[in-house]
Structure formats: C-alpha cells, structure tokens
Structure 1
Amino acid sequence: MSTAVETDLADEALGVLRELTGRPEAVFREGQDAAVAALVERQERALVVQRTGWGKSAVYFVSTALLRRRGKGPTLLVSPLLALMRDQVAAAARAGIKAVEISSSNVTEWDDINARLAADDVDVLLVSPERLTNPRFRDEQLPALVSRCGLLVVDEAHCVSDWGHDFRPDYRRIRDLLGQLPAGTPVLATTATANERVVADVAEQLGAGGVGVTTVRGPLARDSLRLGVLRLDTDRARLAWLAAHLEELPGSGIVYTLTVAAAEETAALLRDSGHEVRAYTGRLDDADRKDAEEALRENRVKALVATSALGMGFDKPDLGFVVHLGAPSSPVSYYQQVGRAGRAVDHADVLLLPGPEDLAIWQWFATSSMPREDHAAAVLTAMADGKAWSVARLETVADVRRSRLELLLKVLAVDGAVERVQGGWRSTGVPWVYDADRYTRVTATREAEQRAMIAYARPVGDAECRMAFLQEALDDPTAAPCGRCDVCAGAWYPTDIPAGASQAASARLDRPGVELAPRAQWPTGADRLGVQVKGKIAAAEQVETGRAVARLTDLGWGQRLRTLLGDDGVGGVATLAEDLEAPSIEEDPDAAYDVSHRVIRPGLPSDAPPDEELLKACARVLGAWDWARRPGAVVAMPSRRRPALVAGVAQGLAGLGRLPYLGALDLAHGGPTGGPGGNSAFRLAGVWQRIVVGPELRSRLADLGDAPVLLVDDLADSRWTMTVAGRELRLAGAGAVLPFVLALSA
C-alpha cells in the first residue's frame, strides 16, 4: 500500500492544505497524506481513527478539491450535528470549496441548493443521517446525488456501530447507501472515538461486498490535556466549587451537565455569582444556538454550560477547559467530549466532578436506542393494513412515549420493516424478528462501559493515569502514563470551597417552586381507546396553572424528592433525559457510586407523613404563587402508594393556610391503570372515570360555593391524572382547581 501521494499530486495536495488552513508553512500530519492517497489515487474506502484535533476534515476537503479538479462529482458528507456542519462549511470556504448543507434549519434555501447541484456548482453537500430517511430527499434528490457522487464521507463513523457510544439508528442506512454507489467511488469514514470492536464493525460495513478498506489509525494521547477528578459529596458542593473557581480555569471553555435542568440551573447560579456564562441545550432554537457558539468562539463568555447538544464537531481550537458536572456513561464518550479542549493551545484543563445522579441517567441512555418487543409487535400489527400511520395515531396502539416511539420507528425502518412516506409511516411487508441476542449483547457492553467509567472516576489513590485509562478504553496500543494528570503529578486543582460560595449555592438550590402547565388539548385518537373526547378541553373543565416544589431532574430539591419518591424518581430522570426503564446496573465496589445506586433505586419507597422541612418548602411555593383567587379549601388525590405522604401534605398545607381540608377523591373501577413513562393517549385512558368525586366530598364542595380548590398530589408525570381529577372537581361545582404536586417528572 502506498503511504503518500505521488510527487506531483503531493505538491498539489499540499497547496490545497495551505489554502484550507491559511498557513503557507502547513504540512500534512502523519497519516493524512496516506488517507488522501487512498481516496484520490486509488479510489478506495478508508477508515480514519485519529485523536480529536488531528485534522480529519482536512483529509476530506483536500480530497474533494483534488477529485473535483479531476472532473468528479460533488462530495456527499453525512454529518451528525448542525454545529459541526456550520464549522465545516466555514472551513471549506477558506479553501475555495463550495459547501452547502440541507437541513431543517434552511428549508427556504433548498430549491436554490437543488438548482446549484443541478448546475454542478456545489463541491460538498452536507446532510444529517436523518435526512436520508426524509421521503422527499430520499426519492427526489438522493438517487441523482449517488449516481454522480465523487466522494462519500461518513463523519463520526462510530455512530454506525451498535457498539459505538453514540449509536444512531439512522446511521445504519449508510450501509444501504454504500451498496448504491457506482463502482470505484471512494468512501471516507472518520472518528476519534472508536475501540477495536467498533473499528472492526465499521470496517466490515464499509467493506460490504468485498471492497477493500484502508484503516489509518494513530495514537490517541492528547499532550495538551491535564486530566483530573474531584469528588465532592453533594450537588451544592460541586456548584459552590465551580462558582468559586471558574475564573481560575484557563481561557474559556465548556461546563457539561447530563440534563437540561442541570445546565439551566447551573448557568443561572454562575451568573448570580458574577460569571459570564450561557446555557446551551437541545431546547434552544437554531438562532440562539448559533449565537451561543459564536459567543464562546469569540471569548465573550467564560463558558457555555451545556448538555451533549454541544457535542461532536464543535470547533474552538483554543478552548482552555472542559468541566463535567456528572459523568458521561463511558470513557469513550468522555474522551470524545473532553477532546473539544486543547487543540491549538499547549495546556488545557479537564476536570470531572461525578454526581450521585449519574447512574440513573446512564440507565436510561443504555437502552434508549433499543426497541421493546411488545411495542414493535403492536406497531407492526397495526400497520399491517398497508396504510400510512402518523406518529400521533400510532400512540393509540403502543403505550410508549413519543420520543421513544419515533426511535422505534427508525429502528424498524433501518431494518426494512417500515418506511417513512408522506403522511407518516407505512409497513413494507418485510418480516421483522426481534433480535434479543443482539440487544442483550449491547446491553452487556453498555454496562461494562458504565463500570469502566466508575473506575475512571475513582479517587487519586485508587486510580491509574487518567489519560492512559482513556487510551486503553479505546484500545490504543501506545497508552502510557501521561505525567500530567492528578494521578501522575498530584492534584492540580484547588479543593477548598469558600463559605460564601457554599451559602450562595445552598440558597439557590433550596429555592423551591416551578410551574405546572395545565393540559389544554385532549390527545389525538383517545376515542380509539374508549375515551370519547377530542379537541380542546372545555374552559369549564380545565385546571389552572399549578405549582410543584421541583422537577425530579433539578438539583437541590429535585434530588431530595428523587430519594423520597424512590423508583418513580428514576422514571423522572428518564423522562427529562429526552432532553435526554433499563436493566439494573450491577453494583460496583466504589463506595460513593454504591451509595448513590441504593439511594436512587431503593425499590418500593416507604410511606410516611411529610417532615417539617418539606412542608416549609411547600409553604414557600404557595406563598410565592400569584393566583387570581386564593383557594378556599384543600383536596387530596387518592394515592395507593403514598397515602400518608399525600394526605399529610394536603392536611399540612390546609393547617398552615387555615383552610378546610375536604378529604380525598375516590378511586373507581380499581383505580388508574398503567404507569409513568407512556404516552398521552394511554395515560388518559388509564385514569378516565377511575378518579371520582364521592358523595361526602361532593357535599362539602357544595358548601364551599365557587371558591377555588387546591388539589394536592405527590408526582406529575403525564399530567393526565391531575387533568382528569380536576375536571371531576370542576363538574362537581369547584370554581377553579389549583394543582399542587411535590415533583414534576420533567
């Protein structure tokens, strides 16, 4: 195999590289020229596994320029994130390469892009893997692109593999795409985060049909990174440490959290402490994301406090630090995120502050891309009629939350059992068999990764070199002690927490109260489940905007309520992880994680009246509630799991507010069916006509007149229990219903 381009081509390639980088002295890094040779000279398929910052994008842009000069068609680049696409388009322009993207953020530009493609005025077209399933793109644009494609690039190729830390079902369509390419079309797959198992899997898929694959793999050590782990007992200690020491970290950087709520709350606390930071999550619209990214690139903020939405491909070469409040679920994904730092600076600091909530979130992620057999069977049985089904309609045949239903449909689609069409999804008639063995193996791999992350996060005295650990997790044969991390050279970070910072963090986290939005619309298709309602909920049957002490995913009170509510708390974390259910994780001997494991998954929680601290928090929420009319009485939801807790909160608030306690609603027909985590249609059907106003309560309501009623419960997940119960109270004469719960699941 040739290891470098021939002399003439080498000079030409070097010229393109210098245009791309804007540096007349630039030279190829080891392995870049070998990849270019494989693609341009020999039209091969190449898999490049190199550390972040090595310059994988230079390989495909240089190759694109060279192939276009030789009359080849445009490069089709499959790229996972919009932030990555924007960086790549900007980089291409510096080398005179015309790159455009087709995504949901530029719909108004699609016709112009299509015209430019037809005129051969585009060198690189960037699309997300999800775009490959779009009916219009798949049927109208993709065939022509494939027929004249000069180069196919699969960026972040570990997503192709079930074993990759960030597997995405739509990436599996790329194997089908490879089979449609004209013979001799070069293909480049790139990643910085793949161990031997993932490399072998991706290479096998690239080589489908007996095509040879050149693998270019280099050492993964990052000499600029100084790694450390600081273990603090509580969320308030971690936030206080960060507020006290953020300015001491070099340059500007990223603070990663595992949930949207944690990102927003951490950013608010840091701003209160005088730091210039912004939250960056999947809830931001595209314009706000772009603005936040530019603020960090231009050092107008000290940090972005981000979820994994700021992930693969975000490029700021001088990023000075990465801090994690909570650990990602595997060393491989951790390496991918910390690789954002230290690309063009000599020194960057990387610090992990693990938290007790990490395990619960990991459990949800471990199986989020795996279909449940009963859900798949229900969907396929319904779709056997050959008609197009909308996602909303499918919610009436499978009790699964919409985000996971959409993921299930993607899995079925890449397996060929369904296809996306105008108007929804349709069965292809291809038989589908649940691959239990594969999902069992993947689950076992995920659990092994989680145990490895726990081992990485051990205290200095019990750990090995942090960088070598990450290299070994990626099967890098060059792994060796780095001499810089806290294990090799001692703790480089301060460990003190000033009293003022601790007090400020406690004050922020102890502040209870979030809004509980009312349902305004009945779910589509409820009539197919025996609930004869549709459209808007009548104003005379609606509840008012309510309040909760906290979201289960919040720091502070959220964590206390997760402990109090037991397994329901785990369900709440899973719900928010959509902004992020799984098999139990084998306990690890590491003491801190072992304790958090038992706290987060304690089984059936004991039922007891609320303590004084919880009642005071509830009272603070009520005191800040700007209701139009003060409630005239308190009613409790009928609870089968926690009757003492729910009734105790209701009676306690009645006493504090000097209001009459009217008792609890009654259960009918055995009470609600189902459980948290499903979709709206099934949740409504599970509570419909199963919570009623009994004769005694009805009489007391009549004596109350039209005064509002405060309706108390422990947990709001789908909000249909509170909606149906409130409707019954309104129909029984209550002038208004003010919902109050201890916790929201999201």
Structure 2
Amino acid sequence: MTDEHPHPTTDEATPTPPDGLRAAADAVLARLVGAPAGEVRLREDQWRAIEALVADRRRALVVQRTGWGKSAVYFVATALLRERGSGPTVIVSPLLALMRNQVEAAARAGIHARTINSSNTQEWDTVQAEVAAGDVDVLLVSPERLNNPDFRDRVLPELAAATGLLVVDEAHCISDWGHDFRPDYRRLRTMLADLPPGVPVLATTATANARVTADVAEQLGTGAGTDALVLRGPLDRESLSLGVLRLPDAAHRMAWLADHLGELPGSGIVYTLTVAAAEEVAAFLRQCGHTVASYTGKTENAERQQAEEDLLANRVKALVATSALGMGFDKPDLGFVVHLGSPSSPIAYYQQVGRAGRGVEHAEVLLLPGREDQAIWEYFTSIAFPPEEQVRRTLDVLARAGRPLSLPALEPQVELRRSRLETMLKVLDVDGAVRRVQGGWIATGVPWTYDTERYAWVAKQREAEQQSMRDYVTTSGCRMEFLRRQLDDEQAGPCGRCDTCAGPRFTDSVSPAALDAARGELGRAGVEVEPRKMWPTGLPAIGVNLKGRIPAGEQAAPGRALGRLSDIGWGNRLRPLLAPQAPDAPVPDDIAKAMVGVLADWAKGPGGWASGEPDAPPRPVGVVTMASRTRPRLIHSLGARIADVGRLPLLGSVEYAGDLPRVPRSNSAQRLQALDGALTVPPSLASALRESSGPVLLVDDLMETGWTMAVAARLLRRAGAEGVLPLVLAVQS
C-alpha cells in the first residue's frame, strides 16, 4: 500500500475501536499483499472505512481512484468480521474478470471465496451448500443473479439473512445518472431493505461524480435508518501520463500503432469502440509482427480467460479490446492504455485508462480519436430506453397474456430487439410494473409512470458527455485536471505530466511502409455474409405461417458485402453513403470498382465458381436487384454496373406488391410480419428465372438483419432460381 492520504468529503466522528483491531487489520493486509507482518500498514482512509464496517457496523460509500486499494478494505473487513462470528461477505461484482482476480486475491489472505455467475452454472448447488455449511468467507455474485427467479426467491432471502457484510463493487452502476447504469444493480434496493439490522454495507467505485455519489449514498441508506458514511478522495493518478494524437485517418492511426506499439512500456490494452474494429486492428498488428489478441463481447469465455492470463503473464504485448475488458480487470503493472477512438464519456474514459499504472511508477495513456467516433456514439444512443408507446405496448401484451411470457414469445409482439427488450423489462421490474418468474415475465398491474423528464435529462447528460470528450481532445489545459473536474474532484489541479503540461512525448510520424500496409488492410474489400437458416420463434402468434428451419431449397447461399458499417476501413466510406439523410444517387465509381473486386475475389476464392475446383458451383447466370424505398437509384445503378462488368443480364428486381411497407428496424419477428406478402417476383423476372439455369446475384444496399434477403431469396427460389447469391454494399455489424 502507498502512503497517500486522500481527504474524505464527509468527516464524521467514530468511536474509538476496540484495542488491537487496527493491529489485526494490518496483519490481514500483510497476508493479502504477501508482505511480512509489521511491514505494511493501512492508510488512514482505508482504516476509517474498515473501522466503520467492523467496529460500528455502518454503511459506507468509498469513492476513490483506481488502484487506491478498495478491495483491501472489504477483504480485511471480511477477515475481521468472520473472526467475530459474522456470516459470509457477499460481493456483487459486474464482470467475470473481476471475480477471477478477487478469488485469487482472497486466497492470499486465507479467505475462501466462491462465485456464482453465468460461467459456472454446474457448480451453483455445490457453492450454495458450502455457503449454508459456513465454509465460504466470500461469495461473489453477478448482478444478473439478483433477479433470476430461483436465486431471488429461494437463495437470496437466506443469503440476506446470513450475510455478514454486503459489498457493492462498481457502485456507480446502481445510478441511472451514471455512465454505466445497469438495471440489475437496482435489485440491490430490495436486498438492502431486507438485511437484518447491524449488517454493514460497503459500496465502492472510482467513477462517480457528485450527483452519482449522492444518489448511491441515498440508496445505501435504504432500510438502515441512518445516513451512509461517504469517503471520497482525490482522483489523481500520479503514474499516468495522458496524451492525445490527432491523426488524419484510420490508416494513419493503425500505422502509428504498428510503428510505435513496441516503444510503449510493458504490456497494455488498445481499446476500440466496436467489435469489428478490435478484430480488424488485432489482425493487422499480428501481420506486422506484434503479439496481440482481440478481446470483445463476442469472444468465447474460454478464449477471454486465456487472453486475460496471457496479458497478466506478459505473453502478449497488448489486448485489442472493446469495453468488454473494463471494470474489474486487475494487472498492477499494466504499462499503457491506447484508445483507437474516443469513448463517449470522460467518466468512462477515466475508468478505462485507470487500468494502467496501478503498480508501476509510469504508464502511458494515449487517445487517438477518429472521425467515425460520433457516428458510433449516435448508434449506441439510439438503443437507449424506448419511447413510451413501446413500453405501454409491452405492458399491454403482458397484461392480456394472463400467463408468463418468455422473451422469445414476447419479442414478436413488440417492436423491440431482444437485448433492448430485456433491458427495458429489467427497468420495469425495478419499478414494480413487471416481474420475472419461472417461465418468463408477467405484468404486476402496479401503476407505472413514464418518467419523461428523467429520461430526457439522462439523454441531455449523454450529449453533454459527448461534447466533453470533444473538449478533452482539443483542450489546451491539463488533461488529468480536465478528467478529474468531470468527476467533480474539488482538489483537481495541473498534473505536470500530460502532453499539455509537459509537452508531447510521441510524434505523429508514421513510416511509409506501415502506412501502405494499413491502407492495404483497410482497403481490403469483402466480408462474408451468412444467410438466415431458421425462422424466428413466435411468428404464428402474429399471423405469419413460418416456423422452424428454412428449407435448403428456399435459402440464400452465403454471400458477400463490401464492408461493415462498424469497420474503420470501408465503414468510414459506407456510413455517409448509407446514412438516412444521404441523397439517393448512382453508385460512386470507387464503390462500384470495389464491389467488382469483391465479386472477382469471391469467384476465384475457395469454393468460388471460377476457382477451378472439381466441385465448384455454377457461375451466376444473371443479376437481380432489390426494390428500395430510400435508395432505388443507388441499388439499380450498382446492379447495372455488376451486370455490365460481369457480362451478365440484368434480369429485373424483386418488387413490392403494393405500397412500400414500413419495415420496423426492431426485432426479427416484426420485420418478417411487415415483409410477409409485401414482396413479389414480377412475371417477367419469374419467366427469366425459369429460362435460366444457374444461380443469380441478388444486389442490395444494406443488410441489417438479413430477413429482407431471406424473404426475397425464398421468393426467387420458388420462382425458379437455382440459387441466390447475396451481394450487398454493407452489413450492419
């Protein structure tokens, strides 16, 4: 532990502790950090928190910078409370990475820790039996468990009754004023209210401004009859040197990484804003000879754990990661954090850079902002809490059902994608309007009010946070001071270390070779598109007579797209072209040429019709385009260019049967309901298909979910096409 002494904002007198309690606490700390007894000592602010929990059985909120030693507080308090006969400590923890780190840390202090989370379901019964037998000192629980019906109704009441200390880690997630609100965390209100009198509670976070701090402290007081003790310290990170490099484009940023990654100290993290970018950058850096791995929300759990272990052991120079590698990952000697693109919130940025420099004297923090950042922010903003009419619709469907509805059964009846629907239901559950039970969700009948003012304020706050990140990039003042003021740190002042205080430490130069390689990588066109093979569940309930597997004779074949909208290569070119407000115009020459290249690579590649392989499929016999409400000129001109270059006939278009339908940009079932009967194959196109002998290329602009393509391919196959090969400008992600 260091000798820093953060000054709390709340200074309340506490009784003199029992003799020897402080010495016992320091002895536990020594075991925790692996030091000889007597050589380490808790800081005064750490001791104040432990004293409040153990001697006074209070509730406390600790807001301290990353690396301050918050976990030491709850492990030392656990050991002391267990020695005095208290029940196990329950830690509500948001990420599996944190849980794995905490179990290992606890063992060093002789504390037996176990977890209940989504990755160890086969162990739950054993863990619960160990808890009941008193063999577990610390139980780490993911917030999602708190509203699992079986856990909530059977395990949680017994756990609340036996708990000796409740710890809420990353407590800013409780507050929907915070940057990382998680509805599952709000379940803690119920647990707090149900705790027996005298059970201490500790909430910890490094990323809470004044408003979030007040909100969390108020919630901590639930059922306690007394205010929570708030210990808030300065948020400076003396080991971090912050900087910003503003480079012309994505190719320059990737080239800079390729040239300079090896110069950064130790091993670290390169953050990207999207899964596609993480995978793209990791692949490029590996090609350039760097030992890196990607880490995203789509990475399998076993691969994630291996990647974490490789970084902890310095077997890789960096993990190229999304925010999936965030709260809870603990590597004290992490030497750098580089952001390839700006997070949308300075608070989230402070949290992520806080992964570095926790156990070393110096760590580099660099932000390389991109012009695509704003578009990515806007996408994530678009999936915020739904408007009132969609919420009311969901409540009405649940009320009429008269039985629990699972997410797959509910989704077809509301215009929300499943992930967004689930988040909304969790919020409604916290508000008491719905309840999760065995078999799904039910409406409770409790009156519910849509808090328009609150949601509008949160949306406005998000906009302000985005502007703050733009201001962070352009500020001429101290960057650490800027971030600390965003967190309402009253002691914020110039750090003397960042690139505006001490001057830049890195140039923006890139080598021609690295820039050429980056441009080649980003300019590489072509993404494989997998066809839909199963109809979504619940379609018969909304009048669409489709279910189960799509017959092989009615499926599209695997196809190709020029790029993903979330790419930092072609995505930057395609996003403006396909933006809702973009004018409809003939396909630009560079896009058309790139699409021809994609088609040529597809034909000559493995399994392509021009590959020369013995079982190569037949060559396409024609081009078909999709009708469009918004970009008919773009799609028709693209189809015509493909037909002309490929010397193929332009056979016609899949048209709309009547007025162009409004196809909801929500969930699969709603899209299919809107498309059911809306598309048709004109007689002239059907005749051309019957006269042809081979597959056709089906050209469209954007594939968001793949259902429009699936419906069109089914119609074309039924009309006589021997195969349908999708060819689109972009896929959503």
Q: Structure 1 length as normaliser, TM-score?
A: 0.93
Aligned-residue identity in percent? 59
Task: Give yes or no for the alignment of 1:206 onto 2:257.
Answer: no
Shift of 1:495: 1.2
Contact map agreement 1:5 1:34 (CA 8 A) in 2? no
- 2:632 is aligned with 1:643: yes
Which position in structure 1 is the counterpart of 2:253? 238
| Partner Cα distance (2:129, 2:217) in 1 | 35
Q: How many residue pairs were aligned? A: 705
Q: Which residue of 2 aligns with 1:513?
A: 526
Cα contact 1:278–1:292 (8 A) shared by 2: yes
Segments of 5+ residues of structure 1 without an aligned counterpart are: 568-602
Query: 2-side partners of 1:450 and 1:612: how far apart?
Result: 35
Aligned pair 1:324/2:339, yes or no? Answer: yes
SS at match of 2:241: strand
Amino acid aligned to 1:17: L
Cross-structure match for 2:48: 34
Partner of 2:501, secondary structure, is helix
Code of the aligned partner of 2:709: M
What SS does the corresponding residue of 2:44 show, helix, strand or coil? coil
Structure 2: runs of 5+ lacking an equivalent = 1-12, 609-616
CA distance in 1, matches of 2:456, 2:675: 34
Superposed displacement of residue 340, structure 1:
0.4
SS of residue matched to 2:332: coil
Query: Match of 1:117, SS?
Result: helix
**Could you report, residue by residue, the CA deviation over 1:320-348 in whole angstroms, capped at 9, with x for unpaired residues?**
00000111111111110000000111100
Q: Deviations over 1:503-532 (max 9, x none)?
A: 000000111111111111111121233221
1:21 to 33, 39, 57: 33
**Conserved 8 A contact 1:78-1:153:** yes
Q: Which amino acid aligns with 1:679?
A: N
- Mapped to 2, the partners of 1:51 and 1:659 lie a distance apart of 64
* Alignment partners' CA distance in 2, 1:161 and 1:75: 23
Q: Which residue of 2 aligns with 1:581?
A: none
Counterparts of 1:371 and 1:33, CA distance in 2: 44
Shift of 1:226: 0.2
How far the C-alpha of 1:393 sits from its partner, in A, is 1.2
Match of 2:167 in 1: 153
- 8 Å contact 1:3–1:33 — kept in the other structure? no
**Partner Cα distance (2:16, 2:556) in 1:** 71
Is contact 2:625-2:654 (8 Å) kept? yes
Query: For 1:230 and 1:431, how far apart are their aligned partners in 2?
Result: 52
Mapped partners of 2:405, 2:655: distance in 1: 38
Contact 2:295–2:321, Cα closer than 8 Å, also in 1: yes
Q: Does 1:312 align with 2:318?
A: no
Distance in 2 (CA, whole Å) between partners of 1:495 and 1:616 is: 32
Counterpart Cα distance in 1 of 2:98 and 2:650 = 57
Q: Deviations over 1:185-220 (max 9, x none)?
A: 100000001111111111111112432211111111
Find the partner of 2:594 among 617, 634, 646.
617
Instruction: Give me the CA root mean square deviation.
Output: 1.3
- The alignment status of 1:536 with 2:523, answered yes or no, reads no
Q: 276, 289, 300: which one pairs with 1:285?
A: 300
Alignment of 1:52-71 (within 5 A): 52-71=66-85
Shift of 1:4: 7.5
Distance 1:611 1:161 in 2: 47
1:143 partnered with 2:142 = no
1:274 is aligned to 289
TM-score, length basis structure 2: 0.95
Could you tell which deviates more after superposition, 19-28 or 30-39? Answer: 19-28
Secondary structure of the residue aligned to 1:352 is: strand
Quote how far apart the aligned CAs of 1:703 are: 2.0
- 8 A contact 1:98–1:124 mirrored in 2: yes
**8 Å contact kept, 2:526–2:560:** yes
Q: Does 1:504 align with 2:517?
A: yes
State whether residues 622 and 697 of structure 2, in contact with CA within 8 Å, keep that contact through their aligned partners in structure 1: yes
Query: 2:362 aligns to what?
Result: 347
- Map residues 657-668 of structure 1 onto 2, 5 A cutoff: 657-668=646-657
Correspondent of 2:695 among 676, 696, 708: 708
Q: 1:515 & 1:193 partners in 2: Cα distance?
A: 40
Q: Given the alignment of the two structures, is residue 741 of structure 1 paired with residue 728 of structure 2, yes or no?
A: yes
Aligned equivalents of 1:484, 1:189: Cα separation in 2: 31
**CA deviation vs aligned residue, 1:597-639 (integer Å, no higher than 9, x gap):** xxxxxx2x11222222212211121112233221011111112
| Structure 1 CA distance for aligned equivalents of residues 482 and 706 of structure 2 | 45
- The separation in 2 between residues aligned to 1:725 and 1:672, in whole angstroms, is 15
Equivalent position of 2:406 in the other structure = 390
Query: Residues of 1 paired with 2:716 and 2:636: CA distance?
Result: 17
3-state SS of paired residue (2:412): coil
Contact 1:169 1:369 in 2 (8 A): no
**1:546 deviation in Å?**
0.9
The 8 Å contact of residues 322 and 351 in structure 1, kept in 2 or not, is answered as: yes
Looking at structure 2, the residues matched to 675 and 387 of structure 1 have their Cα atoms a distance apart, in angstroms, of: 27
- Structure 1 residue 718, shift from structure 2 partner: 1.4
Report the Cα offset of residue 149 of structure 1: 0.6
Matched residue, 2:145: 131
Which residue, 454, 469, 478 being the options, matches 2:470? 454
Distance 1:74 1:19 in 2: 19
- Which is worse superposed, 617-626 or 102-111? 617-626
Q: Report the equivalent of 2:661.
A: 672
Structure-2 separation of matches of 1:673 and 1:730: 25
Counterpart residue number, 2:453: 437
Structure 1 CA distance for aligned equivalents of residues 644 and 377 of structure 2: 41
The letter for the 1-side match of 2:48 is A
